[in-house]
């Protein structure tokens, strides 16, 4: 069963616009490939932080992590992701 994982991008120490910018064309092509495969469902850009929020559909967290590892900026050690697995909200709606 596929689940929707949220991946929050974070820049790693040593990353800079000068190091990231030359890789963006190849990064965009890989993101498009993941979109075409159905694994990457959505991507949003946080303009203030210059990072992305990505929604992935995978059966397991390890699969989502492996897909993120195929991104050029991850391979180059410039970014990584905090992966948030889907969990049902345990509470009821408050009436307060």
d(CA 91, CA 48): 32
Kind plus residue range of the DSSP H or E element containing 63:
helix 61-68
Domains of the chain, with CATH numbers? 3-84 (3.30.70.1060)
pLDDT tens by residue, 49-62:
889 999 999 999 99
Which one, of 21, 83, 77, lies nearest residue 55 by Cα? 83
**What stretches of 16-91 adopt beta strand conformation (E)?**
40-46, 51-58, 79-84
Q: Are 43 and 54 in contact, with CB atoms under 8 Å apart?
A: yes
d(CA 8, CA 54): 7
pLDDT tens by residue, 20-55:
999 999 999 998 998 888 877 788 998 888 899 999
Which one, of 47, 73, 58, lies nearest residue 6 by Cα? 58
> What is this structure's pTM?
0.83
């Amino acid at each position: 069963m596929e689940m929707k994982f949220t991946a929050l991008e974070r820049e790693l120490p040593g990353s800079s616009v000068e190091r990231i910018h030359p890789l963006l064309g190849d990064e965009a092509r890989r993101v498009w490939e993941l979109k075409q495969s159905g694994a990457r469902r959505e991507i949003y850009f946080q303009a203030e932080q210059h990072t992305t929020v990505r929604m992935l559909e995978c059966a397991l967290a390890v699969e989502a992590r492996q897909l993120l590892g195929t991104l050029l900026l991850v391979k180059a050690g410039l970014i990584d992701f905090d992966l948030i697995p889907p969990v049902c909200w345990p509470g009821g709606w408050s009436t307060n």
